[in-house]
Amino acid sequence: MIRVSIVGGTGYTGVELLRLLAVHPEVEIAAITSRGESGRAVADLFPNLRGHLDLQFSEPDPGRLNESDVVFFATPHGVAQSMVPDLYDRGVKIIDLSADFRIQNIAVWEQWYGQPHGCPELVSEAVYGLPEVNRDNIRSARLIACPGCYPTSILLGFLPLLAKGLVAMDDLIANAASAASGAGRGASVNNLHTEISDSFKAYGVEGHRHLPEMEQELASMAGEPVQLTFVPHLLPVIRGIHATLYATLLDNDVDLQALYERYYADEPFVDVLPAASYPQTRSVRGANICRIGVARPQQRHKAVVMSIIDNLVKGASGQAIQNMNLLFGLPETCGLLTPPLLP
């Protein structure tokens, strides 16, 4: 059994890690930490877990974390940077769900996150935890930087086009919409039911922190710099990200459907829909899967790709466990094959 600890367990990625790990056959949960809720039963805060987990939140105790095989960070940015070095030195594997180690250029990170990086020396050690791109590196990693939720859906959506060099790299557009859970579980007027439900809006149009992360990874896929216009929107739904991607085809003869089906034929967690099918976010609710549909409207020069995930699963906690499975030599799908909930 893998001994797992979770730092920062009171947010939505925390409860989602617990929901998935509670039924993972190879995992034992050693500790889940929270300064604010220390001593409180997890099932008291998250009533879905009543009867499934007999565990209390505890203070983050380095001694105890050090005895884990792997520590997940489900914390706001900045926290992992301060705690990772000690764990790293002691050989504990680290899977960071926050943004702390995603961006290789320290200056870029500091600019977008508005604070000095607390652990620049380990950034180059971190492996970007998108298995469909970095599977081999993940297997041997010691520190994994899990992708953000928007990046997961957008990178998987663009990957075949960019890897094959089929589109204009300076004119990529990602029009994406996220569920409210993407904004986290913090108290906030903007995220009240009364403010969000029955409405829709764009936000962060001038610049969203996931942009530099995406341009870094897209450039790596393309083998050249890219320009991405990224406009995120807020959906009145609980879970789900829907990315609608636009790219200008260099060659109008490409068969998008065949390209995507072939590219992802062996991926357990990427599902290319049949031609003329488009994914709906509820079809991945609660599951670690990215579903993709492709189109070329009016047979013109624009490729349109629709890519969806559950932001809390393939966009966060499920993908983190997928990474853990790779790290520990388990089948990649272990504990991650429950069907989505529909309706």
Task: For the segment 193-232, give every residue that binds a second copy (CB under 8 A).
Answer: 193-203, 205-207, 211, 227, 229-231
Please state the closest distance from residue 238 (CB atom) to a second copy, in A.
Answer: 5
Q: Which of 56, 66, 137, 175 binds a second copy (CB under 8 A)?
A: 175
Report how far residue 309's alpha carbon sits from residue 181's, in angstroms, rounded to the nearest whole number.
Answer: 13
Sign of CA dihedral 332, 336, 337, 340: negative
Please state the closest distance from residue 143 (CB atom) to a second copy, in A.
Answer: 29
242 binds a second copy (CB under 8 A): yes
- In the bound state with a second copy, the residue whose beta carbon lies nearer, of 102 and 285, is 285
Q: Which of 4, 15, 32, 336 binds a second copy (CB under 8 A)?
A: 15
Give, as ranges, the residues between 276 and 315 that touch a second copy (CB under 8 A).
276, 278-287, 289, 291, 293, 295, 297-298, 300, 302, 304, 306, 312
Q: Is the peptide bond before 343 cis (omega within 30 degrees of 0)?
A: yes
248 binds a second copy (CB under 8 A): yes
112 binds a second copy (CB under 8 A): no
User: Strand 228-234 and strand 201-202: pairing?
Assistant: antiparallel
Query: Applying CB under 8 A, which part among 11-19, 114-122, 131-139, 148-156 lies near a second copy?
Result: 11-19
User: Strand 70-73 and strand 57-58: pairing?
Assistant: unpaired
Q: Determine the size of the site formed for a second copy (CB under 8 A).
A: 87
Q: Give the per-residue contact string, 113-152, with a second copy (x = CB under 8 A; - = no).
A: ----------------------------------------
3-state secondary structure of 70: strand
Catalytic (active site) residue 149: yes
Tell me whether residue 265 is exposed, middle or buried, using C-beta atoms within 10 angstroms of its C-beta: 0 to 12, 13 to 18, 19 or more: exposed
Residues in the chain: 343
Please state the closest distance from residue 122 (CB atom) to a second copy, in A.
Answer: 29
Instruction: Report the chain's terminal Cα–Cα distance, integer Å.
Output: 34
180 binds a second copy (CB under 8 A): yes
Q: Which of 119, 149, 290, 334 is catalytic?
A: 149
3-state secondary structure of 322: helix
Please state the closest distance from residue 129 (CB atom) to a second copy, in A.
Answer: 22
Please state the closest distance from residue 165 (CB atom) to a second copy, in A.
Answer: 20
258 binds a second copy (CB under 8 A): no
Give, as ranges, the residues between 30 and 89 that touch a second copy (CB under 8 A).
46-52
Please state the closest distance from residue 202 (CB atom) to a second copy, in A.
Answer: 5
Which residues have CB under 8 Å from 68's CB, separation 6+? Answer: 3, 4, 5, 30, 31, 92
Torsions phi, psi for 168 (to 5 deg):
-70, 120
- 126-157 burial code (b ≥16 CB/10 A, e <16): bbbbbbbbbeeebbebbbbbbbbbbbbbbbbb
107 binds a second copy (CB under 8 A): no
Report how far residue 339's alpha carbon sits from residue 286's, in angstroms, rounded to the nearest whole number.
Answer: 8
Per-residue tokens: 170: 């300076």
- The catalytic residue positions are 149
